[in-house]
Amino acid sequence: MTAGRGAEPPGSRYEQREAGRDGTGRFFMGREIAPVMGHLGAPWLERAERIDEERPDLLHSLLSLKPGMVVADIGAGTGYHSWRMAEKIGPGGRVYAVDIQSEMLSLLATNMARRGVTNVVGVLGTITDPKLPDNILDLALMVDVYHEFDHPFEMLAAIVKALKPDGRVAFVEFRGEQVSVPIKPLHKMTEAQVRKEAEAHTLEWVETRRELPWQHLIVFRKTVQKR
Ligand SMILES: C[S@@+](CC[C@H](N)C(=O)[O-])C[C@H]1O[C@@H](n2cnc3c(N)ncnc32)[C@H](O)[C@@H]1O
């Protein structure tokens, strides 16, 4: 157990408790937030085994990407998903690749240049704001990242603002319900927890896909303002 980073102000959505193993001690809606993966871990994002463990080809076909779409890869890291989406949406579409680590965005830019991909735009966000324009996205994709947002509520609210009126947001998280998925518990999420947190926003659940080897894809659509 490690010490937390200090008490939250009264009325905060977040709670600071004693940190669990590998945790931050920061809690939101009953779950402990995981630490951010540092840029020194970037080689792990490009490991060859990911192809079989995560089936990015299958994920991208499940996302129903179409030429001309405007999408965001939130927590893009090295751009593992950015260039794959860029290929599907074609030169008339655009991928906003958002990350809070400038080192990740540098690696991403190098990877896009090496692949000759020109429709991916790197965006340096903050822990509360992806710094995207309002009402521009057909889809925001978050692969293995939402569980490590320091401010998940503020991030998701800002992502919803960036969606077009019928835009979608897709969570891809390692399945927390399945003990056999070989990932640390704090880096997994259950479908129930994702739905609880997403449905606190103007989002309605569309579908949960379980075809991927270890992850679920949980998709929501933006709805009109809740009263
Ligand atoms: C585990 S990596 C996953 C990267 C990528 N999605 C992939 O699947 O290869 C998580 C990434 O999310 C980024 N991240 C964490 N919190 C973020 C936030 N609030 N906004 C944007 N990016 C964030 C980290 O800097 C890191 O690059």
Mutate to test the pocket of ligand 1, among 100, 102, 129, 217 (most ligand atoms within 8 A of CB): 100
Asked if 16 and 81 sit in the same domain, the reply is no
Nearest residue (by CA) to ligand 1, atom 18, is 127
Residue 212 banded pLDDT, cuts 50, 70, 90? very high
Is 22 in the same domain as 102? no
Residues in the chain: 227
**With a 6 A CB cut-off, is 77 part of the ligand 1 pocket?**
yes
pLDDT on residue 227 = 46
Question: Is the minimum distance from the CB of 176 to ligand 1 under 6 angstroms?
Answer: no
Q: What is the pLDDT of residues 84-120, one digit of tens each?
A: 999 999 999 999 999 999 999 999 999 999 999 999 9
- 4 and 106 co-located in one domain: no
For residue 101 and ligand 1, the question of a CB distance below 6 A is answered with yes
One domain, residues 111 and 149: yes
Q: Which atom of ligand 1 is nearest to the CA of 104?
A: 27
Report the C-alpha gap between 65 and 67 in whole angstroms: 7
Q: Are residues 79 and 182 in the same domain?
A: yes
Residues 90 and 23 in one domain: no
51 and 132 part of one domain: yes
Q: Is residue 38 part of a domain?
A: no
> Do 50 and 20 belong together in one domain?
no
With a 6 A CB cut-off, is 124 part of the ligand 1 pocket?
Answer: no
| Residue 134 predicted with pLDDT over 70 | yes
Residue 149 CA to residue 165 CA, distance in Å, equals 24
For residue 131, report the distance from its CA to the centre of ligand 1, in Å: 14
Does residue 39 lie in a domain region? no
Q: Are residues 157 and 50 in the same domain?
A: yes
Measured in Å, residue 205 CA sits from the centre of ligand 1 at 23
Provide the mean pLDDT of the chain. 95
Which one, of 47, 92, 101, 49, lies nearest residue 71 by Cα? 92
**Is the minimum distance from the CB of 148 to ligand 1 under 6 angstroms?**
yes
Considering its fold, how many domains does the chain have in total?
2
What is residue 105's predicted lDDT score, i.e. its pLDDT? 98
**86 and 165: one domain?**
yes
CATH number, domain with residue 125? 3.40.50.150
Question: What integer pLDDT is reported at residue 8 of this predicted model?
Answer: 79
pLDDT score of 202: 97
What pLDDT shows up at residue 1? 35
Structural domain that includes position 174: 44-222
The CA-atom distances, in angstroms, between 193 and each of 32, 60, 175, 200, 213 are 11, 23, 11, 11, 20
pLDDT at 186 over 50: yes
- Strand extents, DSSP E, the chain: 14-16, 26-28, 31-32, 70-74, 94-99, 120-124, 137-143, 163-175, 188-189, 203-209, 215-222
| 80 and 7 assigned to the same domain | no
pLDDT grade, residue 22 (50/70/90)? confident
**What is the rounded CA–CA span in Å between residue 196 and residue 183?**
22
